[in-house]
């Protein structure tokens, strides 16, 4: 069974009907269900998420990308400080980076002040953190491979008198 084929489909549409997925792959439903269950146990499939364009709702949300420089710990490297950071509820994603800074932290808050308080009170106060640089997301055009607000093309023919 081709795991990558299953993953490619699930990544684009985690709600696909199991029968449809099995048909696409030329496999039985039971075989595909078992393979997905195995990948969940192995933490290859780590969750199923819904992508929401919050700008189209009444909920106020601020997304920030925070560049963090840290001092790696002897024996643990970046893992120990990364674990401390990713355990905060505000943190939606955390990446180890190459380049001028070590970690990228992506958080969401209700306001810019919430983000600033998180950086000041929680992130910057960690012993290993040397510096931070916060960038606010002004508009999301594409997220997780999906265009969020594609322009609508009017395909009607122009009729002139």
pLDDT score recorded for residue 50? 83
Work out the widest C-alpha separation in the chain, in whole angstroms. Answer: 79
Q: What is the spatial distance between Cα 7 and Cα 28, in angstroms, rounded to a whole number?
A: 16
pLDDT score recorded for residue 161? 67
Q: What is the spatial distance between Cα 2 and Cα 126, in angstroms, rounded to a whole number?
A: 44
pTM for the whole thing? 0.78
pLDDT score recorded for residue 12? 86
109: nearest Cα among 66, 159, 156: 66
What is the Cα gyration radius of the chain?
Answer: 21
pLDDT score recorded for residue 154? 64
Mean pLDDT in runs of 10 for the chain (161 residues)? 90 90 93 94 90 84 96 89 95 96 95 95 95 95 84 69 67
Helices H / strands E in the chain, number of each: 5, 6
């Amino acid at each position: 069974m081709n795991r990558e084929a299953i993953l490619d489909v699930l990544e684009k549409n985690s709600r696909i009907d199991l029968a449809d997925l099995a048909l696409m792959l030329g496999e039985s439903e039971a075989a595909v269900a078992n393979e997905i269950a195995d990948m969940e146990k192995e933490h290859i499939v780590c969750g199923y998420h819904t992508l929401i364009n919050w700008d189209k709702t009444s909920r106020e949300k601020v997304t920030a990308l925070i560049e963090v420089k840290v001092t790696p710990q002897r024996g643990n490297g970046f893992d120990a400080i990364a674990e401390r950071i990713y355990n905060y509820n505000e943190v939606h994603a955390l990446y180890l980076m190459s380049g001028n800074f070590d970690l990228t932290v992506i958080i969401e808050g209700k306001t810019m002040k919430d983000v600033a308080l998180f950086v000041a009170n929680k992130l910057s106060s960690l012993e290993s953190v040397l510096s931070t640089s916060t960038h606010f997301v002004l508009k999301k055009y594409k997220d997780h491979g999906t265009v969020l607000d594609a322009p609508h093309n009017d395909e009607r023919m122009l009729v002139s008198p």
